[in-house]
Chains A and B, each alone.
Chain A
């Protein structure tokens, strides 16, 4: 089955610690992968896309086709990074729909 797996429901770290939010996918074609973030009381918003290879708010994510992973990383976590993070894959359910993982809540403590 084609799916997105985020194995951690909750990740708790201290400020300044490195962060890695895991995402694995299953897809038969050439995937397009995204990370979305939802801060408290805010809308879900796009954080980054693998195709643009950009770094947003210090976060990066590399697509590893061999391991079918797209882990989100940040070397030094900040308290304002606390949010719900969703990994998403394009192309599973039709022309241009996104399939989301179940999400990982990141809590950064002072």
Chain B
């Protein structure tokens, strides 16, 4: 069953801790993305990667880090520098369209991170 798997579904973090959210896809998609979803804010782009070993900052990258060592995997680390990490995090993947733009994303089921 092809798709994107995010884990864990729920994550609790203490103040000052780093945590890593997992995102794995078996769709053979080149591009992967991390978004943060907050009530009333929509989805905001954190980081994205078009190809293995390459990634770019999105609109709200401060306090986050990523790696892309394998095509299938794009983990997101929420560091202690992120001032307001409590949110719902969504991972997505896509193949670029013929115009160079995405033809549409496939989303994971999300990870809800709570700072305690």
- Note all chain A residues with C-beta closer than 8 A to B108: 43
- Note all chain B residues with C-beta closer than 8 A to A6: 42
What 0/1 readout, one digit per residue, does chain A (5-26) give for beta carbons within 8 Å of chain B? 0100100000000000000000
Q: Interface stretch among B17-25, B63-71, B99-107? A: B99-107
Question: How big is the A interface, by class?
Answer: 20 to 34
User: Are B50 and A46 in contact, with the CB atoms below 8 A?
Assistant: no
User: Are A97 and B48 in contact, with the CB atoms below 8 A?
Assistant: yes
A-B contact pairs, 26 of them (CB 8 A): A32-B99, A32-B101, A32-B102, A43-B107, A44-B90, A44-B107, A46-B104, A86-B42, A90-B101, A91-B101, A93-B58, A93-B59, A94-B48, A95-B50, A96-B94, A96-B100, A96-B102, A97-B45, A97-B102, A98-B102, A98-B105, A100-B42, A100-B44, A102-B40, A102-B41, A102-B42
Which residue of the partner chain B has the closest CB to A32?
B101
User: Are B42 and A101 in contact, with the CB atoms below 8 A?
Assistant: yes
